[in-house]
Amino acid sequence: MTYRVATGVLEQMFPIEAGKTHETLRRHTMMLGEQLRHRPVAPSVTPATAISISVDSTFIRSCEKTERHLEVRVGNVETDAGNRQVFGSVAGAETDLVTLIGQRLDSVGRTDATTLTGFTDGCASLRSILVASGVAELPILDWFHIAMRLQHLEQTAGALSTDTPARREAKAVIVTEVDRLRWRLWNGKAKDAQVSIGRIRKVMHAFQSEATERTSRVPSSRKLWAALLALDGYLVSQAEWMVNYAERHRAGLRVGTAITEGTADFLVNRRMNKSQQMRWSRRGADLLLQIRCAVYNGAFGPGFGNRFQIANDQHPPAALAA
């Protein structure tokens, strides 16, 4: 809800006349956000042997004169036992994201012996944040972003024209190579991806005349060529951070940050982007984000909207049920 709508709901539930305007609610929210920004976090009493850290970014509309959008960086820390905490901050705000990640790591049981594994979408700035947060090994390029690019390639290949025998043969080769490309990347054979890309390029000439045919839409072959070039450049620039995802998956290890994509949705987009077509100041968005993270992390106690089991909860649901 917006501050104005939330004030109206509170007036209906708790009819108090004095000082209940949306500006008052917003001011108190900002004050609470400032307090949360500097509040120390109690370390977990249960040490974690391994923690996965994932960081991603999204954008919200800005009311600043010099920029149209603000970058919001969000992420998760999750132990091998499933204990999870979220964090987030607006780029350029006073909140130090590296410090924030350190607090979240301590809250889920980081020790000197804990193995930290980082995941990013390939952005260099997010990768440097993970390194500064204590991730010793190279952050892994998450499989989710690779899979999304491959899915777009598969859908475009499936829509290729088959109106001539040459195009039917070319499409069959392209569909087969796209599927083989996914297998190679999943099994850590990123260097062999150029073989599949080269084979696709060799048969693309069958669709050259599509560009000159009169049509109201962009030919699928042109879309495929653009997607292929984009994927080729992406793989070349990110090859150093790709791993054998199949091997990690068989070992029960995380292979991507799809969970962070969901975090960006419920933590930022639902409140600041999708249903609320408003513009934000850097400070206002950052302080509200600190409150939303605290609510989901259970900082205000169980039953106050927390989405995950509290890291230091002395009375977990199973114990209460028993």
Question: Cα separation of 222 and 214, whole Å?
Answer: 14
pLDDT of residue 200: 93
Q: Which residues pair with 24 in a beta bridge?
A: none
pLDDT of residue 315: 47
| Burial class for 210, CB neighbours closer than 10 Å (0-12, 13-18, 19+) | middle
pLDDT digit string, tens, across residues 146-169: 998 999 999 999 989 888 899 999
Candidate CATH numbers 1.20.120, 1.10.287, 3.30.420, 3.30.200; the one for domain 50-142+256-305: 3.30.420
Q: Residue 321: is its pLDDT beyond 50? A: no
In this predicted model, which residue has the larger pLDDT, 312 or 56? 56
pTM of structure? 0.78
Question: Cα separation of 33 and 293, whole Å?
Answer: 10
Tell me the average pLDDT across 211-215: 56
Tell me the average pLDDT across 186-202: 91
User: What single-letter amino acid sits at 73?
Assistant: R
Q: DSSP strand E in the chain: where?
A: 50-61, 69-79, 84-90, 115-120, 140-141
Q: Residue 252: is its pLDDT beyond 60? A: yes
pLDDT band at 201 (very low <50, low <70, confident <90, very high): very high
Question: Cα separation of 89 and 290, whole Å?
Answer: 7
